[in-house]
Amino acid sequence: MYPTDWHYSKDHEWIRPDGEEVKIGITDFAQQELGDIVYVELPEAGTEVKAGDTLGTIESVKAVSEIYAPVSGTVQAVNDSLDEAPESINKDPHGDGWYCTLKLADASELDGLMDAAGYEKLIAN
């Protein structure tokens, strides 16, 4: 179910590498746990973050959850379509529901994240 060439965080973000950049979103598991997503607060392009920093928030009918930077870097782009259609995260969390892209500060941080098998083991518990 989870792409095997991506990385995953314990906070339920997926990270898809693309050269010096990564695209970030929340996993299908996370969006199911949140329920219907009604609002997304996105970071601004140019924002520098360290792994573990808050990137923004996702609000659902159940809760407000923070999105954490799984790696350090600079925000390159945000998915502005989420302003008008936050439910895209529910419909396609691993595709059109992506959150932002970061230019990596240190690509070796990806090594500290889980692979698909590790993430599936995490959510099975």
Show pLDDT as tens, one digit a residue, over the chain (125 residues).
Answer: 899 999 999 999 999 999 999 999 999 999 999 999 999 999 999 999 999 999 999 999 999 999 999 999 999 999 999 999 999 999 999 999 999 999 999 999 999 999 999 999 999 97
* Alpha-carbon gap, residue 86 to 8, rounded angstroms: 21
Contact 73, 49 (CB under 8 A): yes
Predicted local distance difference test score (pLDDT) of residue 90? 97
Distances (CA, A) of 88 to 1, 16, 39, 85, 125: 18, 18, 11, 6, 27
Predicted local distance difference test score (pLDDT) of residue 65? 95
* Alpha-carbon gap, residue 121 to 84, rounded angstroms: 34
Predicted local distance difference test score (pLDDT) of residue 125? 79
Predicted local distance difference test score (pLDDT) of residue 95? 95
Residue 43 DSSP one-character state: P
The label of the residue with tokens 């782009």 reads 77
The amino acid that residue 88 corresponds to is S
Contact 43, 49 (CB under 8 A): yes
Contact 99, 77 (CB under 8 A): no
Predicted local distance difference test score (pLDDT) of residue 94? 96
Predicted local distance difference test score (pLDDT) of residue 67? 96
Q: Which domains does the chain have, with CATH numbers?
A: 7-107+117-121 (2.40.50.100)
Longest dimension (CA), the chain: 37
